[in-house]
Amino acid sequence: MEVKFNNVYYVYNEKTPLSKMVLGNINTIFKEEKITGIIGKSGSGKTTLIQLINALIIPTKGNVVVGKRIISKTKKIKDINNLRYQIGLVFQMPEEQFFCQTVKEEIEFGMKYFKKSVKNIEKHISDALLMVELNDSYLNRNPFTLSSGEMRKVAIASVLAFNPKIIILDEPTIGLDNKSKNNLIKIIKLLKNRYKKTVIIVSNDTDFLLQVVDHVILLDKGRIIYEGNKYDVFKQDLEKYKIKRPKIIEFEQLVLQKKNIKIGYRDDINDLMKDVYRYVK
């Protein structure tokens, strides 16, 4: 399912003295079966942008098209729950998302809330847990007693369980250890390749993004500054926008700047090594 932004503006506290434009002139498409990363320093409008996708907020001007549904000020969406059923949003701090006593209740909530008659609810829960590499032994545990990596996984599983077409992850790597981060990379790649999801990731962890995304959007002061293929965006001067480049790209850019040698763009340290070896030898 595709998400399209048509000339979207969003103003907080419109028509009050506190009015503030947080997004302006946003035109972009999040394509089906593609993974897009949204980067930008705090306050650049990243979170506002993803809230517009599941109609938590409505554009002040312009519209957002999710599949066939149009989110705009002029037309009220009749079946907002049906829209949200297609969109799985995993918040930044999963512990802020939990409210049930057990992992099982937490995961089945989404399915029950959307009143979908899901057959074999238990199986859906187990499958969702397996996708994030947890097992049934977690079912009766209290989500608040889990470690931060496990909490993140449960939050993702509770979204995967109702099988949305679009998955949005807000700062998914904050607070995760190496191993959990590598697991997350695997899970996200599966979401695209095996489950054909549209994935949108808000994160400034560009090392992580380089490994999973296809496209990148850089936001600053509510505007899209760069948009396109990840290498094209990551090789730009991102420091100006208070973003760290992925270390691999930083290395490649340094070689280009200092030595005028183009070693090409890589996601992976192994591939980078082959290039370096070739150019140094």
CB burial of 170-204 (b: ≥16 within 10 Å; e: otherwise) equals bbbbebbeeebbebbeebbeebbeeeebbbbbbbb
Binds other proteins (CB under 8 A): choice among 48, 180, 211, 236: 180
Give me 69's structure tokens: 């549904």
Question: For residue 78, what are the contacts with CB-CB under 8 A and spacing of at least 6?
Answer: none
Binds other proteins (CB under 8 A): choice among 132, 169, 243, 249: 243
**Shortest spacing between CB 41 and other proteins, in angstroms:** 7
Site for other proteins in 23-52 (CB under 8 A): 41-43
Amino acid letter for position 216: V
Binds other proteins (CB under 8 A): choice among 149, 214, 267, 275: 149
Between CA 213 and CA 222, with CA 216 as vertex, the angle to 5 degrees is 140
Between CA 205 and CA 142, with CA 159 as vertex, the angle to 5 degrees is 95
Contact 73, 58 (CB under 8 A): yes
Binds other proteins (CB under 8 A): choice among 29, 57, 58, 93: 93
**Shortest spacing between CB 42 and other proteins, in angstroms:** 4
**Shortest spacing between CB 81 and other proteins, in angstroms:** 29
Site string for other proteins, 56-85 (x = CB under 8 A): ------------------------------
Choose the stretch contacting other proteins; rule: CB under 8 A; options: 56-64, 68-76, 105-113, 268-276. 268-276
Question: Does residue 206 touch other proteins according to CB under 8 A?
Answer: yes
**Shortest spacing between CB 190 and other proteins, in angstroms:** 19
Choose the stretch contacting other proteins; rule: CB under 8 A; options: 105-113, 120-128, 148-156, 192-200. 148-156
Site for other proteins in 116-135 (CB under 8 A): none
**Shortest spacing between CB 171 and other proteins, in angstroms:** 8
Question: Does residue 100 touch other proteins according to CB under 8 A?
Answer: no
Question: Does residue 186 touch other proteins according to CB under 8 A?
Answer: no
Question: For residue 258, what are the contacts with CB-CB under 8 A and spacing of at least 6?
Answer: none
- Strands 3-12 and 61-66, sheet pairing: antiparallel
Q: Which residues pair with 66 in a beta bridge?
A: 3, 69
Q: How far, in Å, are 118, 152, 169, 229, 270 from residue 113 at the CA level? A: 11, 21, 20, 37, 46
* Residue 201 parent element (H or E): strand 198-202
**Shortest spacing between CB 129 and other proteins, in angstroms:** 17
Residue numbers at the binding site for other proteins (CB under 8 A): 41-43, 92-93, 95, 147-150, 171, 174-180, 182, 204-207, 242-244, 247, 250-251, 254-255, 258-259, 261, 269, 272-273, 276-277, 280
